[in-house]
Structure 1
Amino acid sequence: MHYYTNITLPQEIVLSLRETSENIVKNMKKTVAIKYYKENKLSLGQCAELSEMSKEEFIQLLSTYKISIFNFENDEELLEDIKNA
């Protein structure tokens, strides 16, 4: 595992959130993983790894934000996929 930078959190923020710095950083990783997944910058597996979750856990996290793991450009593509199932 590579560590490229340290994240410094202002004490006031940590106190306001009433969470440990470790939990805040974990939440930041999850948020960034969701962002990169939505932008198709990283795969599902890479995002799960970034968020320190299993693929199944990451899929569940996506569902809580109503983000589908099925990406279709349009309705015709979806209908074609269903027809071929």
Structure 2
Amino acid sequence: MKTITVNIPDNLDIDNNEFIMTAASKMYEQGKLSLGQAAQLAGLTKRAFTELLEKYDVSVFNFPATDLASDIANA
């Protein structure tokens, strides 16, 4: 496991959990992490992470239409 240290200036009103959730949700939105990976990064269950995605304006249904078409064709 990798460890990243981020220095957050005292004048910013953000806590560690909010920072991690923001990073995890953005990386999920960009397709860099799966739902499970993002939830693990945030230290949450998949269900809890999914429920919090709305707060960060990220849809749980985050995949390209081409992937959906491919999934339907392969079903």
What is the TM-score when the length of structure 2 is the normalising length? 0.69
**When the two structures are aligned, how many residues end up with a matched partner?**
70
Specify whether residues 54 and 73 from structure 1 end up closer, same or farther in structure 2 by C-alpha distance, changes over 3 A only.
same
Specify whether residues 25 and 72 from structure 1 end up closer, same or farther in structure 2 by C-alpha distance, changes over 3 A only.
same
Is 2:60 the counterpart of 1:68?
A: yes
Tell me, what secondary structure is at the counterpart of 1:37? Answer: helix
- Cα distance, 1:66 vs. partner? 5.1
- Partner in structure 2 of residue 6 of structure 1: 5
Unaligned stretches of 5+ in structure 1? none
Mapped to 1, the partners of 2:44 and 2:18 lie a distance apart of: 12
Q: Residue type of the partner of 1:6?
A: T
Tell me, what secondary structure is at the counterpart of 1:11? Answer: coil
Identify the structure with bigger relative contact order (alpha carbons < 8 Å, sequence gap 6+).
Answer: 2
Q: Residue type of the partner of 2:26?
A: K
Mapped to 2, the partners of 1:27 and 1:55 lie a distance apart of: 17
- Cα distance, 1:72 vs. partner? 4.9
Q: How does 1:42-53 map to 2 (within 5 A)?
A: 42-53=33-44
Q: CA RMSD in A?
A: 2.6
Tell me, what secondary structure is at the counterpart of 1:12? Answer: coil
